[in-house]
Amino acid sequence: MHIEPGFLSPLKLASANCAASALVMTCALPLLRRPAASLVRTLVAAVFFTLCMQSVHVKVGPSEVHFIGAMPMYVLFGVGPTVAGFALGLLLQALLFEPADLLHLSVNTLSLTIPLLLVHAAFGRHLTRVDLQTTLRVDGTYYAGVTTMVGFWLVIGEPTTPLVDWVRFAVAYLPVATVEPLLTLAVLAAARQARALPGASLCLDLRYAH
C-alpha cells in the first residue's frame, strides 16, 4: 500500500498532508478523555502494526502488499488508538527502515485510516459478536478500501498507472484478507485469557473480549 516517492506532485502531497493531519487530530481528540490508557494503547498498537508490516512486504505491480493487522488492532485497541498507531507506526518505520517513505507519510496514513473509519462507521456500532464470518466480511471490506485508496493515488499520480497493474496488486491482497481474520480471532482469544491480569484494561479495549 506504499506509494513510491516522486509519484505525486507537491500540490497533491500538500493536500494529503492537510487531510491526514486533520483526520488524525480529529480521531486523537477523544483520546484525551483517558490520556494514560490512550497513550499506552497507541504505543502498543504502533508496535503491533510495525511487526505486522515488517512480516510481509512484497513488491507487487505499482505498490507493495503488506500484512497490516488492522482488524486485530481495531478489536484490541479501539478505533482512536488504531488510527494514531497507524500514523506513529508509519513514522517509526520510515525513520528506522525506509527514510524515503517520510515524503509520503500522509498519503500512506490516509490509505490505511480512511478505510478503517469507513469500516467503523459501517460495522463498528453494530459489531457485537466477532466470529470467523464477521471477521471475513469486515477484513474483506477493509482491504477493498485499502486497495481502492491505492488505486486513487495511482489515478492522480504522474504518470497514471495502467489498470491491469492495479488489478494485479489488488488480487495479491486476497491471501492477506483471508489469513488476517484468523489472527483477529487468535488475539481475541488471548485477550480473553489476559483480561483479568493487572493492567489489561489499560492496554486493551476489552469490549470484544467476552
Full DSSP string of 51-80: HHHHH-EEEETTEEEE---HHHHHHHH-HH
Mean pLDDT value of segment 153-181: 84
pLDDT digits 0-9 by tens, 129-161:
788 888 888 888 999 999 999 888 888 887 777
Residue 208 lies in a domain: no
pLDDT, residue 161, reads: 77
pLDDT band for 33, please (50, 70, 90 cuts).
confident
Residue 205 lies in a domain: no
Among 20-24, 99-103, 152-156, 199-203, the least confident range? 199-203
Residue 204 lies in a domain: no
Residue 67 to residue 56: CA distance in whole angstroms: 5
Residue 2 lies in a domain: no
* 3-state class (DSSP) for residue 118: helix
pLDDT band for 1, please (50, 70, 90 cuts).
low
Residue 105 lies in a domain: yes
Range of the domain at 149: 10-198
Q: What is the percent of the chain with per-residue pLDDT over 90, rounded to a whole number?
A: 27
The residues, any chain, with a CB within 8 Å of residue 1's CB and separated by 6 or more, are 63, 64, 65, 66, 68, 108, 111, 112, 146, 147, 149, 150
Closest of 12, 16, 15, 7 to residue 158, by C-alpha: 7
Residue 66 to residue 129: CA distance in whole angstroms: 27
Name the domain count of the chain: 1
Residue 154 lies in a domain: yes
Residue 4 lies in a domain: no
Higher pLDDT, 71 or 169: 71
CATH code for the domain of 194: 1.10.1760.20
DSSP state of 128: -
Mean pLDDT value of segment 80-93: 92
